[in-house]
Amino acid sequence: MASQPERNLIQSLESAVVVMYLGKSSKDKRDVYYRLAKEQGWRARSAFKLMQVDEEFSLLEGVTKAVDLCAAPGSWSQVLSKRLVENKKEGQEAKIVAVDLQAMAPLPGVIQLQGDITKQSTADQIISYFDGEKADIVVCDGAPDVTGLHDMDEYIQAQLLLAALNITTHVLRPGGSFVAKIFRGKDITLLYTQLKIFFPNVTCSKPRSSRNSSIEAFIVCQDYTPPKDYVPNMGTPLLDLPPMDEQGRSNRTIVPFIACGDLCGFDSDMTYALPVAGEGYKLLKPVQGPITAPYLSAIQKKRKGFFNEQVSKKIGQ
């Protein structure tokens, strides 16, 4: 019979596998936006973030060509697809190009490109889909795998946003808009300054569906106006500004901050009671499960007794 430490080890290994099953029934089922996303057919709750930002700024009004960077699993592409189809007039064609390093399940009306947003070839391929024209809007909901070290996470996210901005300078038409996720930190004002070089109107927004406990926000850049004689170049870093200029003046810029969405509506930080009246709570499957999810290999390992073998080896030591 296994001792208590051995039983604890077995239980912890089994729990690690169970956590990977939680796409269908997890504590997130109490998150109202998580539930609404399933009920309305969105692939992720992040769809509400773009809708609430658009509600505040009317970014998708009249848009017929859009680029979605770091698109997987595709919730923002779903929102773009719905709105752009509504916008197109007779004889017009709505085009959406979704780009991500990961494979993404197909979406009707969305051109999918599996590529790296830091490469020139990716920018050229996006432009080719628009037949030489440019996009009306570029959106990016991408974020790195957070480490929990806030300074490092904020820096990596800022570099990802600059990579998205760099490719945006290749594919966005003058007067277009750019929306991207940011992590607000102590040096975020330097990032605002870099964006102000290309966009006269820059606003930091916080959708209602984004948790207050999260440092994420969304930068809304409007009226794309590149500097005179600026030539986009993917081969060099984009405007890595120091905190002070040559004259000793601060390079930091403060931009407006706006809360988006109905402030009397659902609160993403609250835990709402499940609708269990009568028949009980009905579990909904994810709208689109991941194509190559890590938990699928974990399930196979469990079925083949991999974790039991690891426990035996640990006990043998």
pLDDT surpassing 80 at residue 108: yes
The reply to whether 108 falls in a domain is: yes
pTM of the model: 0.79
Contact criterion met (CB below 8 Å) for 245 and 251:
yes
Percent of the chain surpassing pLDDT 70: 81
pLDDT surpassing 70 at residue 238: no
* Torsions phi, psi for 217 (to 5 deg): -150, 180
Contact criterion met (CB below 8 Å) for 35 and 310:
no
How far does the chain reach from its first CA to its final CA, in angstroms?
Answer: 17
Number of folded domains that form the chain:
1
Known binding-site residues equal: 74, 76, 100, 116, 141
The reply to whether 133 falls in a domain is: yes
pLDDT surpassing 50 at residue 22: no
The reply to whether 119 falls in a domain is: yes
Active site residue 181: yes
Give the structural domain span for 202. 43-274
The reply to whether 16 falls in a domain is: no
Which residue in 181, 206, 228, 314 is the catalytic one?
181
The reply to whether 289 falls in a domain is: no
The reply to whether 265 falls in a domain is: yes
The reply to whether 223 falls in a domain is: yes
For residue range 48-98, list pLDDT tens digits in order: 999 999 999 999 998 999 999 999 999 999 999 999 988 877 667 889 999
The reply to whether 312 falls in a domain is: no
Known binding-site residues for S-adenosyl-L-methionine equal: 74, 76, 100, 116, 141
**Beta-carbon-side half-sphere exposure of residue 284 (alpha carbons within 13 Å):** 18
How many Å apart are CA 316 and CA 229, to the nearest integer?
A: 69
Q: What CATH number has the domain bearing residue 251?
A: 3.40.50.150
